Homo-oligomer: A and B are copies of this chain.
Amino acid sequence: MPELRKDPIIGRWVIIATERAKRPDQFSPPPEGPSEGECPFCRGNEQHTPPEIFAIRNGPLSEKNVSDWKVRVVPSIKPMLRIEGELDRRGHGIYDMMNGIGAHEVVIETPEHINNIADLSLEQIDSVFGVYIDRITDLGKDKRFKYVLVFKNHGWAAGGGRIKHSRSQIIATPATPKRVKEELLGARRYFDYHERCIFCDMIKQELELKERLIIDIDGFIAIAPFASRFPFEVWIMPKGHSCDFVALEDRHRRDLAKILKVVLLKLKIGLNDPPFNYIIYTAPFRRPKVGYWKTIEEDYHWHIEIMPRLTRVAGFEWGTGFYICPLPPENAAKFLREVKVEIENTVTV
């Protein structure tokens, strides 16, 4: 059973993932370069993954775990957290811990052997977002979970696997992650003072100044954030205020698919298919109307953060939480604005 252990000094939870435990002598710098066998994520190889949790299928008569699917969700074969059991919060001398209960799912974004989500059709990316929403909603029903994180590791340096088949991951955690808490608190502090959403204010300023704006289409904007941690960091935000990614209406999902595809194609073409992570930040699903969360619907604003991994993170960053970004975000935005991409053979952005 994996364990969740809390750093007693700064309160950071760490997953001690015993299920993936390697023997100590197996740790050595990882071998370079990917290796590939038969891809377990391709259409026809469904038997090589654990049984599916969810899938979007082409026909209503299609059966589970057969090949007629568009997007498929399976449990991780190396889960960071385990779905069965109780949390059993407990002490260990001065330390605090609980069982590593949670969900860890893999979203296979296409039945074709395509590496980068940017190369999927708008319709397919739209379906992937639909699956994210379905899974967050479903996992939210489990009272043991506090937060569901949807993210992608693309490329080896970004933590991606050796198999080059586009997929993302969903993790449900029994504690609200520290970084998410900090963001919720920061947004609330701003709202308490200004009675405005800080993200809405950012969007307004970026649309006025335009120097960090990458693209503004169909109700969404993509910007290089003012305090970018990484070169070419990009945030995608809905221009209309909403704290909740899950509340995204079907008719806007296609627009989100479009801006994500445009941004990721610009990164792919402009920077030679760099490794990247993206993460969806949304309000926690249980939001009582009192205390801590009472204003969250007004003060938080869901968004997607995209982090290309072009630089190494060194001792200074680990030690301080200060990041050093060697490229001003204004230069990054200008560069990305100028990379032209084609979408569905018709639109050029």
Chain A residues close to B by CB (< 8 Å): 3, 5-18, 20-22, 24-25, 27-30, 32, 80, 92-95, 149, 151-153, 156-160, 169, 171, 173, 177-180, 182-183, 185-187, 190, 198-199, 201-202, 205, 209, 225-229, 231-232, 270-272, 274-275, 277-279, 281, 305, 307-308, 310, 312-316, 318-329, 331-332, 334-335
Contacts and interface: CB of A to CB of B under 8 A. Distances in A.
A198 B17 contact: no
B326 A22 contact: yes
A38 to B, nearest CB: 24
Contact of A151 (B10, B29, B315): B315
Contact of A320 (B22, B30, B180): B180
Contact of A17 (B209, B305, B324): B324
B326 A190 contact: no
A171 B325 CA distance: 16
A315 B232 CA distance: 16
Contacts of A322: 12-15, 173, 177-178
Nearest to A27: B310
Interface centre among A5, A14, A32 (most CB of B within 10 A): A14
A323 B14 contact: yes
B8 A227 contact: yes
Nearest to A32: B32
A13 B320 CA distance: 10
Contacts of A3: 328
A325 B14 contact: yes
Contacts of A21: 326-328, 331
A185 B182 CA distance: 15
A232 B22 CA distance: 12
A128 to B, nearest CB: 15
B8 A328 contact: no
A316 B149 contact: yes
Given A14-B229, A27-B310, 10 more contacts: A5-B226, A7-B226, A12-B323, A13-B322, A14-B228, A16-B325, A16-B329, A27-B274, A30-B310, A80-B316
Contact of A324 (B80, B305, B307, B320): B80
Nearest to A81: B324
A93 B159 contact: no
A341 to B, nearest CB: 16
B93 A205 contact: yes
A178 B320 CA distance: 6
Contact of A310 (B28, B149, B182, B328): B28
Nearest to A331: B24
A151 B318 CA distance: 10
Nearest to A279: B319
Among all A-B residue pairs, the 5 with the closest Cβ atoms:
A159-B314, A177-B320, A277-B315, A24-B335, A279-B319
Nearest to A156: B312
A91 to B, nearest CB: 11
B272 A28 contact: yes
